[in-house]
Amino acid sequence: MDIRKIFTPQEWELLGSSPVYVSAGVMSSDKSGPLGSMKELKALSRKLLETSASDQKNPLVELVSVHPLTDEDNQRALSRGWEDLVHGSFFQTVEQMASLVEQKTPTYAAEFKRFLYDTAFEVAMASNEGFLDLFGDKISRQEADFLNQLNLSLRLG
């Protein structure tokens, strides 16, 4: 059975774009400049490729990594993540994602939520936060705060 059928089309659009959405959030929490942003987007792509190439047992994780959305859907998720972080609704949306998977696919929820957190963490680690992406901390204070709030919103414990 296709696990997407458990969700409404609107719910699946939200979950299907979730790795891109959380990546946009962490990228927006502290702008890294053009070079840093390219590294962060590359880290997102690498995470999805590595996950899709693994022997994934979680159908939710598999679907969002093996069957990513269209470029247009991904661009919309990036834009929505940036806008939601600015307008203060980002973590409410993440809580909605967590509730959806907990209610509709409880067997797969914990691993899926961990995958989202790990994706955001790898994106945050992709570039230095200093001058020309050469100096500075791997994770800025703003990114660390974002990751802490993401952890709480996903209810990872």
Residue 69 counted as domain residue: yes
Contact between residue 35 and residue 132 where contact means Cβ atoms under 8 Å apart: yes
Q: Could you give the number of structural domains in the chain?
A: 1
Is the residue at 2 inside a domain? no
The arithmetic mean of pLDDT across residues 120-139, rounded, is 71
* Structural domain span for residue 18: 9-154
Whether 117 is in a domain gets the answer yes
Q: What percent of the chain has pLDDT over 90?
A: 44
Reply yes or no on whether the pLDDT at 69 is more than 70.
no
At 121 the pLDDT is: 96
Residue 135 lies in a domain: yes
Residue 93: its pLDDT value, please? 94
Separation of alpha carbons 78 and 27, rounded Å? 10
Whether 87 maps to a domain, the answer reads yes
pTM: 0.88
- Per-residue 3-state assignment (H helix, E strand, C coil) for the chain: CCHHHHCCHHHHHHHHCHHHHHHHHHHHHCCCHHHHHHHHHHHHHHHHHHHHHCCCCCHHHHHHHHCCCCHHHHHHHHHHHHHHHHHCCHHHHHHHHHHHHHHHCHHHHHHHHHHHHHHHHHHHCCCCCCHHHCCCCCCCHHHHHHHHHHHHHHCCC
pLDDT of residue 45: 86
In a domain, 4, yes or no: no
Over 70: is that where the pLDDT of 134 sits?
no
Confidence bin at 119 (pLDDT 50/70/90) = very high
**Would 57 be classed as within a structural domain?**
yes
Residue 98 lies in a domain: yes
Label residue 80 by pLDDT band (50, 70, 90): confident
